[in-house]
Amino acid sequence: MKALIIDDQDAVRTALSLLLDLHGIATLSASTPEQALDFVRREDVGVVIQDMNFSKDTTSGEEGIALFREIHELDPELPVILLTAWTSLENAVLLIKEGAADYLAKPWDDQKLVVTVQNLMSLREARDENRRLKGQDERSRRDIAKRFDLRGLVYQSRRMHELVTLAVHVAPSDAPVLITGPNGSGKERLAEIVQSSSRRADKPFVRVNAGGLPDQLLEAELFGAEAGAYTGATKLRIGRFEAAHGGTLFLDELGNLSPTGQMKLLRVLQTGEYQRLGSNVTRTAAVRLISATNADLRAEIAAGRFREDLYFRLNVIELPVPPLATRPEDILLLAEHFLSQHATGPSVVFSPEARVALERHDWSGNVRELENRVQRAVLVCQGGPIKIVDLGLDERASVAPPPASTTAATHGAPPAAGGMSDVLGSGTLSEVEREAIHAALGRARGVVSRAAAELGVSRQALYRRMERLGIEMERRVR
């Protein structure tokens, strides 16, 4: 990937080429708009540094404006840095609004120019790689959806795709699976995918809330009991292990299992055998075991509340389900899916403000909370567009933080303009861009001006990008 320098002055092109070459950035040089456009069409250009004037007879900047628009039409995502004199400052600001990355006044600051070019090229490369990976993921998603029963799971994010891919790949094994993740994130659905993609798909799939069983009933519930085995046992009781024979037993809420329950479960896992209460007949536990918990079992082990030997028996394969808030690409997709399930007519759609609020909500209740809010909204919106209040969300969630002041700096200097916010497109929620901004803000301890300097953009440009990505004021320091 190369930087394209466009200027009709040989000295300027040479100076910029030498400067960038010293910092390991390959360059191309064009002295005319025609030559520049040819490079954009044929070469791997990562950033453009473009002069605003190409005629010695005029300083109107009309040729520079026309060239930028042609470049932008050929590749709308190609970042363009404008080199301008004070006389064409107004035109540079105009092109910033049209999508230019930044402008630098002549004579330029070498360090700022190099940092800006490096960051824009890095983000361009990251965006290209992200697009390539998304293309691969999309093909892989379609292939997996054709080959496996995903139980209606809806997702778009790469994190969920990697999780589902792992789940279907380990499904044919009989190894125990431990599914971890917060409440409402979809652990039971993932267990269903493992079972439906396994060799036991046509066998029983038995579910039990392991943490909801009192100790006095646990053994009978899991292993069964003969009539008369205890007070009130008037008939034979088939346990969950026996009911799941040949199939899959799903133990939910594993982290709430009592010490007695943990010991009894470990015993059957170690020996593969059990007996009904009141019987001396030994039976074999021929089941595939899938467990799920929202607890941090490693922390529970450290605190002495969970047996380490049981943990290693259950955790041969771990499938960690990410919280909904960490996969923003899935939020609107899931919301639309739930709306299609509960909507009463075609007029029931999300208003633009509601869509923004959905993306910005923290979703502590995860997918379950999202479905409940959508169902609630359908019931209260009275057949019209769904508003923020219908979802029960904070109406302030749709209001972007105010941008920094754009007043001119002192001593007649022009206001900073442009930067990463414009070059990176239309505000798509990009994980790569989010992480780059969060990382810079973290290193700058939340000081936006320092983060902007590190990223090689103006403070206003960074504010605009944060606004478009929905990075709220209270979340900027990480």
Q: pTM for this one?
A: 0.62
Produce one character per residue of 8-40: b if its CB has 16 or more CB atoms within 10 Å, e if not: beeebbebbbebbeeeebebbbbbebeebbebb
Query: Which token pair is 186?
Result: 């979809």
Tokens describing residue 245 = 């024979």
Confidence of residue 396 (pLDDT cuts 50, 70, 90): low
Q: Is there a single domain that holds both residue 273 and residue 392?
A: no
> Residues 315, 250: one domain?
yes
- Exposure string of 239-262, with b = 16+ CB inside 10 Å and e = fewer, is bbbbebbebbbbbbbbbebeeebb
- 448 falls in which pLDDT band (50, 70, 90)? confident
The CA-based diameter of the chain, rounded to the nearest angstrom, is: 107
Same domain, yes or no: 81 and 123: yes
Band of pLDDT at residue 416, cut at 50, 70 and 90: very low
Query: 398, 427, 446: which is the final residue of a domain?
Result: 398
Task: Work out the end-to-end distance of the chain between its first and last CA atoms, rounded to an integer number of angstroms.
Answer: 32
Residues 6+ apart with CB under 8 A from 313: 176, 266, 269, 270
Residues 286, 380: one domain? no
In this structure, are 68 and 205 located in the same domain? Answer: no
172 with 229, same domain: the answer is: yes
134-166 pLDDT, tens digit per residue, is: 777 778 888 898 999 999 999 989 899 999 999
Distance CA 146, CA 105 (A): 55
The type of residue at 275 is: Q
In whole angstroms, give the CA distance from residue 387 to residue 349. Answer: 9
Give 353-375 pLDDT, tens digit per residue: 999 999 999 999 999 999 999 99
Residue 362 tokens, joined: 């923290």
Any domain includes 191: yes
Based on the domain organization, do 174 and 310 belong to the same domain? yes
Is residue 367, in this structure, part of any structural domain at all? yes
List phi, psi (to 5°) of 380.
Answer: -105, -10
Of 245 and 64, the structure prediction assigns the larger pLDDT to 245
Structure confidence at residue 388 as a pLDDT band (50, 70, 90)? very high
Q: How far apart are CA 253 and CA 129, in angstroms?
A: 39
Query: Hey, CA dihedral for 283, 289, 294, 296, is it positive or negative?
Result: positive
CATH, residue 3: 3.40.50.2300
Q: Does residue 22 share a domain with residue 55?
A: yes
Separation of alpha carbons 231 and 280, rounded Å: 19
Sequence-ordered list of residues with C-beta below 8 angstroms from that of 312, at least 6 positions apart, any chain: none
Domain co-membership, 358 together with 344: yes
Outline where DSSP puts E strands in 134-247.
Answer: 177-180, 205-209
**pLDDT confidence tier of residue 229, bands split at 50, 70 and 90:** confident
Indicate the pLDDT class of residue 103, thresholds 50, 70 and 90: confident
Residues 75 and 198 in one domain: no
Is 9 domain-assigned? Answer: yes
Strand-strand pairing, 273-275 and 282-284:
antiparallel
Give the total number of structural domains in the chain: 3
Of 83, 5, 76, which is closest to residue 47 (Cα–Cα)?
A: 5
Beta strands in 287-433 (DSSP E): 288-293, 317-320
Instruction: Give, as one character, the DSSP assignment of residue 397.
Output: G
Residue range of the domain that includes 96: 1-127
- Read off the pLDDT of residues 262-292 as tens digits, 9 standing for 90 and up: 998 999 999 999 999 889 999 998 999 999 9
Q: Please identify, among 379, 398, 417, the residue that sits at the C-terminal boundary of a domain.
A: 398
Which of these three, 398, 422, 448, is where a domain ends? 398
List Cβ neighbours of 48 (8 Å cut-off, separation of 6 or more). 3, 4, 6, 36, 40, 71, 78, 79, 80, 81
Residue 178 within a domain: yes
Higher-confidence position of 478 and 465: 465
Average pLDDT over residues 113-134: 84
Name the strands in the sheet holding 317-320, side by side, starting at the edge strand that comes first in the sequence: 205-209, 248-252, 288-293, 177-180, 317-320
Q: What's the chain's average pLDDT?
A: 84
Which residue did the predictor score with more confidence, 23 or 213? Answer: 23
Based on the fold, state whether residues 193 and 315 are members of the same structural domain: yes
The tokens of 379 are what? 């019931």
Contacts of 265 (CB under 8 A, 6+ apart): 210, 222, 251, 257, 310
Domain shared by 245 and 391, yes or no: no
